[in-house]
Amino acid sequence: MSLFDEIMAARGLTGAAREVFLNPRYEAYHDPFLLPDMEKAVTRLVAARKKQEHITIYGDYDIDGLTATTILLDAFVSFGFKYVDAFIPNRFVEGYGMTVDAVERIAATGATLIVTVDCGSLSEKEIIRAKELGIDVIVTDHHNVASIQPPAIAVINPKRLLQDYPDRYQDFLLKPSEETSSSAVAPVSRGESPRLYPFLDLAGCGVAFKLVQALQTRLKGLPSGQEKWLLDLVALGTVCDVVTLVDENRANVYWGLKVLAKTRRSGLRALMAVAGVEPEKVNARALGFALGPRMNAAGRLETAQLALDMLRARDSTTALRAAQQLDELNRARRAQQDVIFNEAIIQAEEYTDDPVLVVSGTGWNHGIVGIVAAKLLEKYKKPTFVLEEMDDIAKGSARSYGDFSAVDAIRASDDIITKGGGHKMAAGVTLPTAAITQFRQRINEYYRQQKLYDQAALLLPRADVTTTFDQVNEEAVTLIAALEPFGNGNPQPIMRSMNVLVINQRRMGTDSQHVKLELCDDAGHALQLLAFSAPKYFFVEPGQRVTIWYQPDINEWRGRRSVEGRLLHLEVT
């Protein structure tokens, strides 16, 4: 069995499942009308199109919200809506989600319909206020849902099905015994189980795209097939929101990358140019580590409207100017991030006995602290909260891993905090600055009550296969690339090679913080592995034997191609 076949088998991708995975079909997308309230939303929008009502798309300041907003703006223009605009909240003014003040400002513009993207599921008082002002609301979202839905015309959120039918899903997928066709909805007889949407982990942009697919069945202007030109936005938002890249998400990103390679959007072409991304080579990693950070920098430092303007730029000059501005903001973001990170490390050393890090400081831009929390988690192998102290109020973000839920820990501190929410692995919180010490104690008490053990081991890489260097050749690496797009739910395969000899060590970087190891197996086959910002234990000396975990790739340098790898972990043997 070849190395590639071993990887496929290790992931359970054999037989028909292998073919479906390697060649995802866009045309196999699920029926959008199986999503909750989709029929109600489409009916209301068809009426709005007939009357040419004023519509506001209420977005969010992250990439998922920005791409979802652009998807609906572009599609609504195609469908012939004449009066559509967008409202993107400012992280430092409105914060995340809908606010009453923003709803009142939208009402003053004459809007009679708000369509939210990537937010709104928990915005009961804001939607009630909109109704009082004569504005209907359609929610499209993918975040946590309320036990009772807010009084919107429609709440299109796949997670509603997980709440209502938890036993029928596993890992956001309809269980095999529950699978139904995604063709047109058939009536359900009394006593029968309802037809359910097969996949629940769509990003906000994915839910917005399903609304577009549904509207295509009732409105003219966007012929079937032409909606594929929106997949570049769907791919960008899906990858950057770190939802699982399986089922419909995988197909949308797979084909979205092909659309992005020849995108019609001046803004995305310009952004790829300033980020050094070659369109014909664009992949999920480029979205997550090159395009995404530049777009997010706008909302982290100033206003996400800058990123939306870039996405919607119509001429190359305006697009390039906007992309360059985002690039400059990203440089500034990285500089601020480094300062906060270094200050946070000093503080973190004071709490080495705490299983959860809670650090805070003045001037720590709360638009950046989430990234710092992720870096601290990586360094200390602990769930981390990083807060900005702003006079009497502190605001920040949490990052977690394994079995510890950041959002549940916040909920256990409801009597201390002002507000908070999010997901298991990432959450946000606002609390009185005077309560930070008590909050730190409460969070760590909650962790200890969970009786969690060996959590740090969950951060170690898990190999798909154990192999020798002769199997890790250019042909195998090329075949592995067929598993793209890589991301959450479909990570890049990891190899393990045991008891190999270190024959050379090369330190690199201004502070010698990077290392390249040359290794040789017992058959005499050599491989070079590189680790950036490597931990101390990676700097092993020649002559030592190690077991290594790594991801191979093709290195091209001055016309020469060779197989090298990224070192993920090693153990001295």
d(CA 339, CA 333): 10
- Residue in 31, 8, 26, 19 with CA at minimum distance from that of residue 174: 31
d(CA 239, CA 491): 12
d(CA 224, CA 239): 25
CA distances from 424 to 105, 120, 159, 369, 415 (A): 33, 19, 15, 17, 20
Beta strands at 495-508 and 465-466: parallel, antiparallel or unpaired: parallel
d(CA 448, CA 356): 10
Q: Say what the pTM is.
A: 0.92
Strands in 136-140's sheet, in edge-to-edge order, are 84-87, 55-58, 113-117, 136-140, 154-156
CA torsion 169-174-175-176 (nearest 10°) is: 180
3-state SS class at 408 = helix
Taking only the tens of pLDDT, the chain with its 573 residues reads: 899 999 999 999 999 999 999 999 999 999 999 999 999 999 999 999 999 999 999 999 999 999 999 999 999 999 999 999 999 999 888 888 899 999 999 999 999 999 999 999 999 999 999 999 999 999 999 988 989 999 999 999 999 999 999 999 999 999 987 654 444 444 444 455 678 999 999 999 999 999 999 999 999 999 999 999 999 999 999 999 999 999 999 999 999 999 999 999 999 999 999 999 999 999 999 999 999 999 999 999 999 999 999 999 999 999 999 999 999 999 999 999 999 999 999 999 999 999 999 999 999 999 999 999 999 999 999 999 999 999 999 999 999 999 999 999 999 999 999 988 878 889 999 999 999 999 999 999 999 999 998 898 999 999 999 999 999 999 999 999 999 999 999 999 999 999 999 999 999 999 999 999 999 999 999 999 999 999 999 999 999 999 999 999 998 887 788 999 999 999 998
Q: Show contacts of 490-494: CB within 8 Å, 24+ apart.
A: 490/244, 490/245, 490/246, 490/250, 492/551, 493/7, 493/464, 493/465, 493/551, 494/461, 494/462, 494/463, 494/464, 494/549, 494/550, 494/551, 494/568
The dihedral of CA 317, 319, 324, 329: what is its sign? positive
Domains, the chain, in order of start with CATH, read: 24-174+195-225 (3.90.1640.30), 352-458 (3.10.310.30), 465-572 (2.40.50.460)
